[in-house]
Structures are given as C-alpha cells and as structure tokens.
Amino acid sequence: MKRRKYIIGNWKMNHGLEEIRTFFIDFSKVKMELNCVVAIAPQFIHIPILKELAFTTGNMQIGAQNAAEVDSGAFTGEVSAKSLKDMGVDFVILGHSERRAIYKEGHEILNRKVKNALKNELPVIFCIGETLSERESGKTFEVVKEQIEHGLSGISNSDMQNIVIAYEPVWAIGTGKNASKEEAEEVHQYIRTILPHRKEETSILYGGSVKPDNIDGLLSMPNIDGALVGGASLKATDFKSLCVSASRF
Ligand code: PEP
C-alpha cells in the first residue's frame, strides 16, 4: 500500500455548533481538489453533524478522539469502538499525550484499545512522543520505542494496514514550539525501523504546533507523511491552507 499525505485536525474539546457551521462555510468557500487525506476528529457528540457537513466538502473523513477497550458493558461515560464504527466514524485517535497524561492511560490499556478498535475495523491513529525532560535527558528514542513495543504488541501484519503513527513530541503540543524538520525527521526515520510490520508502507505523521508557515518544511522530509494538528485545525482558513500544502507533495 502506498503511503499518503494526511492532514488530520484534532479539535479536542473545542468548537460548539455555531463555530462548526462557520468552519464549514469558510472551509467550502473556495472549491478545490485536495490531493491528500483530510480529516477532523471533533467531540463525540458532534460526530453526526460533522459527518453531514463533511459530505458537502467532498471526502473529508471524520474520526473520534478516544474509544473504549471493550465493546459494551458497565463502563459509564465511555464510548465503544463498535458504536463508533456503527455511526460511520472513519478512524480513532488513541494514545494522545493528553489521554496519557490527564487520564493516565498507560501501555496496557492503550494496547487493549488499539486491538479492540482494529477488531471492529476502525482504523487507528496511534500517538507517541517524549516529554521535554525525556528529550533533554537523551531518552527520545527509548521512549518512542517503548510506546510502540507495548502499544502495538500483538498487532498482526494485516492489522498494521489500519494503523497510522503520529509522532507528537509533548513539548511541542500547543506550545508554539514545533520540532524542526530535521529533529522530526530523525525521530520519524527511527520509528520506521522499530515498527512491528510494514515498516515502509506505514504513514507516520508529525504533530506539535504545525502551522501554515512550517508545514512545507516538515512535509518535504522523506519520512514525514502528514500532520496531526490541534490549534491550527480550528480555523478553516489555516486548516485549508495546510491541506493545500499537503496536496502539493
Ligand atoms: C495535538 O494536540 O495533537 C496537537 C498537535 O496540537 P497543536 O497542533 O496545537 O500543537
């Protein structure tokens, strides 16, 4: 399978109905063919409305920001991968640093979530990345290796077709301080060597303060296949500009 360029917006817990409508009006203003995978992961409750609005923009994919590790049961407040799939959701983001840090999601639960999503044929964007202190103490490779080895433990060769990796250095998320294209490329290149299967075919996205003015440099690197974008995905003009850039590569 050929690697593709991706621009995925992670809206986190942002945007209400009015902002969503404005976003899609602005995003659709200038019609153009986008030659990359364009996707947004909104809050769960907004998924149906985004599915509807996305339809008007062509083929934007809509994803979820989390999914439970089992299909059903006494898990108050959780949403299952099975239900997401039933609702036509295209993918789920798992392992985001905010889930790891705030909700204490560790390797074992993330591995169960990845396996459950794949069992339900829900593709996974699996996020990994080191903190500032880990980078400063020279542990970046060690940290991402551990996250890949545990998070993707037991994943089969064919499952790997439904996994995209997002390397997101925690120190770059929402800080305005992105990794340079060389810093990011060095880690992406390393990640490719430690993937359990399909090393060359798997898409590896960069995330962390991606903006219209730094996307081109990042995408020019051989192992950077796109971006997972927080802040700059909230404004339609910025998000569209990222998609236009990715379409050129
Ligand atoms: C993210 O949260 O995944 C992210 C990359 O955020 P930002 O683009 O705002 O740094």
Whether 206 has a pLDDT exceeding 80, the answer reads yes
* Contact yes or no for 153/163 (Cβ under 8 A): no
Of 177 and 22, the one with more pLDDT: 22
Confidence of residue 2 (pLDDT cuts 50, 70, 90): low
pLDDT tens string 99-157: 999 999 999 999 999 999 999 999 999 999 999 999 999 999 999 999 999 999 999 99
The span from the CA of 164 to the CA of 124, in Å, is 6
Give the Å distances, CA to CA, from 135 to 105, 142, 143, 170, 214.
Answer: 21, 10, 9, 10, 21
Ligand 1 contacts CB of residue 209 (under 6 A): yes
The closest residue, in CA terms, to atom 4 on ligand 1 is 230
The closest residue, in CA terms, to atom 3 on ligand 1 is 230
Confidence of residue 243 (pLDDT cuts 50, 70, 90): very high
**Which atom of ligand 1 lies at the shortest distance from residue 178's CA?**
10
Whether 1 has a pLDDT exceeding 90, the answer reads no
Mean pLDDT for all residues in the chain: 96
Q: Which of 229, 234, 235, 241 to mutate to test the pocket of ligand 1 (most atoms within 8 A of CB)?
A: 229
* Contact yes or no for 187/143 (Cβ under 8 A): no
How many angstroms separate the alpha carbon of residue 74 from the centre of ligand 1?
32
pLDDT at 56: 79
Whether the predicted model's global pTM rises above the 0.85 cut: yes
The span from the CA of 128 to the CA of 120, in Å, is 22
The span from the CA of 9 to the CA of 11, in Å, is 6
The closest residue, in CA terms, to atom 7 on ligand 1 is 230
pLDDT at 32: 81
Percent of the chain exceeding pLDDT 90 equals: 92
Length of the chain: 249
Two structure tokens written together for 198? 């399909």
Ligand 1 contacts CB of residue 168 (under 6 A): yes
pLDDT at 59: 83
Confidence of residue 230 (pLDDT cuts 50, 70, 90): very high
Confidence of residue 220 (pLDDT cuts 50, 70, 90): very high
pLDDT tens string 45-78: 999 999 999 887 878 999 999 999 999 999 999 9
Q: Which of 125, 168, 233, 241 to mutate to test the pocket of ligand 1 (most atoms within 8 A of CB)?
A: 168
* Contact yes or no for 156/197 (Cβ under 8 A): yes
* Contact yes or no for 205/7 (Cβ under 8 A): no
Please name the residue ranges forming H helices in the chain: 17-28, 47-56, 81-86, 97-102, 107-119, 132-136, 140-151, 181-194, 215-219, 236-247
